Amino acid sequence: MLTRMTLAPGLHARILIMVETEDTAVKVGSGDVPVLGTPRLLALAEQATVQAVAEALAPGETSVGTRVALEHLAASPVGAHVEISTELTEVDGRRLVFAFTARDRRATVATGTIERVVVDRERFLARLTR
């Protein structure tokens, strides 16, 4: 395995979005109201976890999601600005645990944790074709 930078608690990333029609529960099929859909919120949180560790992984490595706990606390309508912040809080071998928070100007929108595992990209993909 190639050498990587240190994967250590404290790595973090932030994503700022403005909720668009494409982000709503109606559009993603998770509800019938025009607010930020939970699946879209989760995808953004996962995107932030990927960004948080991207520079610390060795060439050929990636991380894959394995577990999520998400509490969606407040609705964000179309036009709202939402910031999703994530921080690596635990490293246990290849297992990475992140905490995340999403906020808009009015409230905490969501909190949760995401677990990912560091894998060799080629070996991971090779197993899919068996």
To the question of whether residue 31 is assigned a binding role by annotation, the answer is no
46 annotated active-site: yes
To the question of whether residue 37 is assigned a binding role by annotation, the answer is no
Catalytic residue among 12, 24, 46, 61: 46
- Other CB atoms within a 10 A radius of the CB of residue 65 amount to 15
115 annotated active-site: no
Catalytic residue among 6, 12, 21, 38: 38
Burial state string for 93-124 with b = 16 or more CB within 10 A and e = fewer than 16: eeebbbbbbbbbeeeebbbbbbbbbbbeeeee
- Rounded CA separation 10/89 (Å): 6
24 annotated active-site: no
Catalytic residue among 62, 72, 101, 111: 72
Do residues 7 and 88 touch, judged by C-beta distance below 8 A? yes
Residue list for the binding site = 65, 116
Residue list for the binding site for CoA = 65
Residue list for the binding site for substrate = 65, 116
Name the residues annotated as catalytic: 38, 46, 72
